[in-house]
Amino acid sequence: MKDQHADELKELKAAAKDIQKMLPAQRDRIESLYLEEKSWTYAVWRERYLNHPLVGTLVRRLIWRFKDGDRASAGVWHESRITGRNGRSLDWIDEDTRVELWHPIGETTDEVLAWRDWLAELEIRQPFKQAHREVYLLTDAERTTRTYSNRFAAHILKQHQFNALCGARLEEQPQAHGGRRLPACHPHDGSPRPAGGVLDRRYR
């Protein structure tokens, strides 16, 4: 094999090495969509993401929100179709349906847990924390004080470790944000906060 197809084998190894380098970058780019609050028509999303030979391997393991007028539902790519967590096909989706990355911040606890159980049952390992993403419910005390919280009072923050984690989790990506430079750490992911008051932990 090595002697007869040495050049082809060399090219294959090089391609595999390139993919290993590109996948983490593409994973981080998709996760950064939370900051951009990005959405597309289903036709565009399918072409650029779902059917992409590399990005598609990540996209098919994530939950997406589909919205068409007053109708909206979360779904994943499963068995060659978009399905909800009940396994039923979202057959009402058309080319103009809007698609965005699903976030647990806007969902009920029961809904998030149901998605976690469904993904676990199918043994789907997500490329980054989505269904298991940390969110913090506001307490009654925090709603009362409104402008401050004692939740993390007296906690010691290790500055250098915190800065390193921020740099690793959310690096500046001006090319991905229209030339705008984003801070290495951001207190929330830009998603609209529901009336119920849920905080998303972006401090890693």
Q: pLDDT category, 198, cuts 50, 70, 90?
A: very low
43-71 pLDDT, tens digit per residue, is 999 999 999 999 999 999 999 999 999 99
- Is the pLDDT score of 200 beyond 50? no
Q: Please give the pLDDT value at position 155.
A: 84
CA distance 74 to 108: 13
Q: Please give the pLDDT value at position 199.
A: 38
CB 200 within 8 Å of CB 135:
yes
CA distance 68 to 28: 28
Q: Please give the pLDDT value at position 65.
A: 97
5-39 pLDDT, tens digit per residue, is 666 666 667 666 766 778 888 999 899 888 888 99
Instruction: Write out the DSSP string of 35-88.
Output: HHT-EEEHHHHIIIIIT-TTTHHHHTTS-EEEEETTEEEEEEE-SSSEE-TTS-
| Residue scoring higher pLDDT (3 or 188) | 3
Q: Give the start-to-end residue ranges of the domains of the chain.
A: 6-200
| Prediction pTM value | 0.68
User: Any idea which of 55-69, 114-128, 162-176 has the lowest mean pLDDT?
Assistant: 162-176
- Is the pLDDT score of 125 beyond 50? yes
